[in-house]
Every structure is written in structure tokens, then in C-alpha cells.
Amino acid sequence: MFEMLEYAFMRNALYAGILGSIIFGIIGTYVVVKKIVFISGGVAHASFGGVGMSLYLGIEPLFGALLFAITSAVGVGYLGKEKIQREDTAIGIIWALGMAIGAFFYHITPGYLPSPASFLFGNLLMIGTFDIYLLSGLALSIVIIVVLFYHRLQAVSFDEEFSEVVGIKTNLVYILLLIMIAFSIVFLIKFVGIILVIAMLSIPASISSSVTHDMRKVMVYSVILSLVFILSGLWLSYQWNTPAGPTIILLSGAVFILNTLGDKLYD
């Protein structure tokens, strides 16, 4: 483990892993408890449209991805809340459109482009100092928002109708949650990629929620599990010379399956 830390890119990956585990653990808890994993998947894939368009326009892909992610998250939330369109239908359409737009602009953009796999599956070992600053800012912002609005977010996550009865502005709180999810997905795309980010938002929190129903404890356990998965996956990828992102997800998935089987055996 310590041998691989001799390299600057591995140290950056470690820093990103620690910060990413905080984001995965906290946001993932809301995603699992609120049962909006599918929405998160739709937002993640829709952001690829922003990546493709940004490359075509010659601007930073992060900005385009963030614009598409926030727009799709708020759009899905609004359409679902206002009963304009079924939420699952809206998600499916946005999911497909985002990927199609991204692929279209990627194809017509002239010159040399980074491989689409770098956006779909990520490359943790390409994390730079600027990325560490971005993740630090996001992690700090999420912690502050959750501390300030914890009870409102908890109420909306568990019982939205009761939250409205007691005077909580559920629509605003829900939109805030979706925006946090959008930011988390986009900032973590470089970490494990568009496709794999949703696994890290759901697996640690799913395992943790099977152990306790206390939301604070679920968050803490999810952060710890995320950190264990990331550090272990990094070490295994270094030892086996395999991609870091997929290795982390495969390890996480194996633990999830074992945990699920264990729950069934002890029921």
C-alpha cells in the first residue's frame, strides 16, 4: 500500500478517494432512502450530452456536463411533482436524449478527442490538483448543507406528505437534493465515470441501510464503506494492473452480493 504512494498520481487518487467517499456516503444515503437511484442514473447519463456539446464548442466538459445534469435533475423533479409527465417516463427520455446528444456531438467534433471510455468509466489515476480542490469544495458544501437542512432533508426523504402537513416546503427541499445529486455526479465523473458513479452512490448506502435505519448512522457507515472500497480497489488495481474505477465497483458489488445473501440466510 505505502509503495504505491511514492507516485504523485497515486497520492492524488488517494486524496480524491477520501473526498469522494464523503460525497458518496452522504448523497448516496439520500439516493437510497428516497428511492431515487433511477433518477440519479438518468442525470448521470444525461450529463454525457453536456460533455459532447462542450467538446464540440471547445469549452471545459465539466461546465457542459454540469449544465445538463442540473437541468435534467430539476426538469425531472418539476415534471414529476407537477404531474405533467410520469417521472419514470421523463427519466427514460432524458437518459436516452442525453446519451444521444453526447454521441452526436462527439462524432461531429473535429480533431483528436479523449476516448469516450474516459467519461463513461472514468480514470481515477488522471485526477489532478485542480480536481482535488473541486472535490474538497463540493464535499465541504454538502456537509454544510446537510448540517443546516438535515431535518428537512430527512423528513422529505422518509415521508413527503407528512412533511407538507407540518409546513416544510417539500418541492424546494427536493429540488435542493436533486441539485446536490447533480453536482456530485458531475464532479465524480472523472473519478469512476458516468456509468459507474451510480453504483458508488447506491452500493455503500444499501449495505449500510441493511444494518441500521438511523439515517445519521447510515451516512457514517456509508462513508466508511466507500472509503474501504476505494482504498482496497486502488490497491488491487495497482497490484493487478487493472483500471481503478471498475476494480472498485467490482469489489463493492461482490460485498453487496455477499451482504444480501447473508441477510437472506439469517432471515
According to the model, what pLDDT value does residue 267 have? 60
CA distances in angstroms from 190 to 47, 128, 156, 164, 227, listed in the order given: 12, 10, 30, 37, 17
- Helical packing angle, 61-81 and 87-108, nearest 10°: 160
**Separation of alpha carbons 139 and 137, rounded Å:** 6
The pTM (predicted TM-score) of the whole model is 0.89
* Contact (CB, 8 A) for 168 and 160: no
Give all domains of the chain, ordered by start, each with its CATH number.
4-254 (1.10.3470.10)
Of 188, 205, 206, 187, the C-alpha closest to 197 is 188
* Contact (CB, 8 A) for 230 and 111: no
According to the model, what pLDDT value does residue 1 have? 55
| Close Cβ partners of 227 (under 8 Å, ≥ 6 residues apart) | 17, 18, 21
According to the model, what pLDDT value does residue 84 have? 60
According to the model, what pLDDT value does residue 2 have? 61
Of 10, 73, 28, the C-alpha closest to 46 is 73
According to the model, what pLDDT value does residue 83 have? 63
* Contact (CB, 8 A) for 17 and 227: yes
According to the model, what pLDDT value does residue 81 have? 65
Block means of pLDDT (10 residues each) for the chain, length 267 residues?
68 87 94 87 88 89 90 81 69 88 89 74 76 92 95 86 79 90 87 79 92 91 94 87 85 91 72
According to the model, what pLDDT value does residue 5 have? 67
According to the model, what pLDDT value does residue 78 have? 74
